[in-house]
Amino acid sequence: MQKYKTKELVISLYDLMHQYGIRKHNEVALKLITILVLSKEDKLPKGLKLSQSLAEYKGEWLALVEALNASEDSQIQRAFSYDNALEDLPLPFLHSAINTLLKYEDITLESPAVDSIRTIISNFTLSTSEGFTDFSVYMLVNALLGDTSGKTTYLMSPASLPLVTIVSEESEGVYYETINQSGMIADALSLMSENRFEISYSNALDKPSYTKSKNELKTFDYGVSFSPMGATVPKHISDNIDSYDRFIIPTKKVESANILHLLKQCRETVVVSVTEGFLYSTMEKDLREHLVTNGMLKAVISLPSGIWTGTAVKTSLLLIEPNGHNQSVRFVDVTGEEFIRKTTKRLLSLRNIDIALKNLASDEQLACATTVSALTLKEQEYRLDAGRYLLDPEEKTVNKILEEAKTVTLDSIVRFERGLSVKPEEGDYTVLEVGASELNDIGDISTPTKEAYISESERTKSQSGFLQPNDIIFILKGSAGKLGIVPEDVPTTGDGCWMVNRSAIVIRPISDKVNPKVLYAYLKSHIGQTQIASLVKGATIPNISLKELKQIPVIVPSDDEQEQAIECVDKSRETQQTIQKLLLEQQARQDQLWKL
């Protein structure tokens, strides 16, 4: 028989639904393909088959749907009795759709479940409670699990559904627990899979369904969760009010609770997706420490931003062995050009997965992979962001220079000042707020235009909150890492004083021995900018930790270097003033033409 791609069938059905204005696209398409698969395998109830008469007579179609609803096969019954989506289809659409299905009656469909969900993710919107990652990530996770034949695999969370179809191609022991019942599409995919998988529509954290007793969970060999991003858990979970004693480490995040759940539910290998914040946030430090100190964490795989539909949030995969004895953690970065390709302007896909797996299995120090001891991770407060341990060539060069130079930490030579507390519309004094938009590429900061107001008590309490000549302004959030230097003629008394907004910090030398122009020139240099760039975190809103900024090393300059730095800043100021003067002259000339 001729072999054919399921993709073309899925796209044909979607085209028909668009033509006839049919909603619930995913549910209708997947259930129609399920009927085709069941018909081909002679598994439709009462010996029914797909036929031309179904396309001509609505009554025969309704009789088929009714038989599916009443099937003794619990999975068939559950998939087709969820709602009236199939009963309500208009006859003209049914005529075209069934004729389309009949074209595939004598054609072998290879991996219909996998190809159906892959096609929908790649070409359409899959309406569930959350988005899905690119299909290549599911292929990567399947490879991380290894040979699943003869093993039991437990998967949880709606976004794990595509992986369920992949694993069920080679394993009969697949169990899926999800809170999402939308259209019962999981049942439809199971019915068209090589091996059906068991499905439980339940909340695994609140009331797990795979249990041995009220105090003991059923255990599986492997476990996977693509956790919902940013979701929080109920208070009883964060307080570990749980008969299975899973949440031994307090957490407020679902992604962390899922990890703790999987550690109890699985024996050999667990793979979870986590957002970038999990890797370094103070809130999740205890869980990271638990994974490392108990030898459970085997690897961290850093994924590129743009790998998920519907969000640009950066994520990573954690490879965990609940009974492991790992003394180190392997970090693998697949965000480089070697591992990614663009599928659309915004979305990415992984490639060269075999190379990524080879890098994971190796202990070799590579540009995109390294092994870090548990002791080093402890010294780094169990931070797991790959960028902390994987340095690009420029960072390595800078680190070598810093190791050979005499340095001091930034916080040993400066004081950090925040802006004052302001009110939007009232106050005794008017102040001008400096933010990222006022920081020019070179030289002085532009005169700010945004006004705010402060009270007399606030002004008296913290005069140091006003900007002083040659203060260095550093943006911590948003345009993170951007900096500028305050002009020498900035007003320092009365109305019109300047202060930084909440996204910025003031860096002010604490000694006459530290020239602010020299420090500014250093921070703007290639060495300074490389150090600053390494501190930036966050895919949605870039930010820099003030705690980390304080600890960056600053090279102690020679007298000649200080003179050169001061001259550089002064010359840049002169250049900027000349440019501004020329722009004003040009504007004046322009204003003389065709005046109103």
Please write the tens of the pLDDT for every residue from 157-173.
Answer: 999 999 999 999 989 99
> What is the C-alpha to C-alpha distance for residues 472 and 485, in angstroms, rounded to an integer?
5
Homologous superfamily of 412-579: DNA methylase specificity domains (3.90.220.20)
Tokens of 400: 């070598």
Do the Cβ atoms of 406 and 555 come closer than 8 Å? yes
User: What type of residue is 11?
Assistant: I
Determine the pLDDT at residue 155: 97
Do the Cβ atoms of 377 and 326 come closer than 8 Å? no
Buried-state track 538-555, b at ≥16 Cβ within 10 A, e below 16: ebeebbbeeeebeebbbb
Alpha helices in 105-220 (DSSP H): 112-123, 135-145, 161-167, 185-191
- 3-state SS assignment for residue 169: coil
Low-confidence ranges of the chain (pLDDT < 50): 1-3, 127-129
Which residues are within 8 A (CB) of 75 and not within 5 positions of it... i.e. 6 or more apart? Answer: 187, 190, 191, 196, 199
Do the Cβ atoms of 551 and 508 come closer than 8 Å? no
> What is the C-alpha to C-alpha distance for residues 100 and 98, in angstroms, rounded to an integer?
5
CATH class (in words) of the domain with range 111-388: alpha beta
Determine the pLDDT at residue 178: 92
Determine the pLDDT at residue 594: 79
> What is the C-alpha to C-alpha distance for residues 292 and 377, in angstroms, rounded to an integer?
8
> What is the C-alpha to C-alpha distance for residues 237 and 247, in angstroms, rounded to an integer?
7
CA 128 to chain centre: 18
- The closest of 294, 297, 289 to 330, measured between CA atoms, is 297
Instruction: Write down how long the chain is.
Output: 596
Instruction: Name the phi and psi angles at 582, rounded to 5.
Output: -65, -40
Do the Cβ atoms of 448 and 491 come closer than 8 Å? no
Which residues are within 8 A (CB) of 411 and not within 5 positions of it... i.e. 6 or more apart? Answer: 550, 551
> What is the C-alpha to C-alpha distance for residues 225 and 383, in angstroms, rounded to an integer?
21
Determine the pLDDT at residue 330: 97
Buried-state track 78-100, b at ≥16 Cβ within 10 A, e below 16: bbbebeebbeebeeebbbbbbeb
Determine the pLDDT at residue 441: 67
Residue 444, CA distances (Å) to 439, 469, 475, 492 in order: 8, 10, 15, 16
Residue 45 host element (H or E): none
Do the Cβ atoms of 546 and 398 come closer than 8 Å? no
User: What type of residue is 444?
Assistant: D
Cα torsion at 570, 575, 581, 587 (round to 10°)?
A: -150
CB atoms within 10 A of CB 591: 9
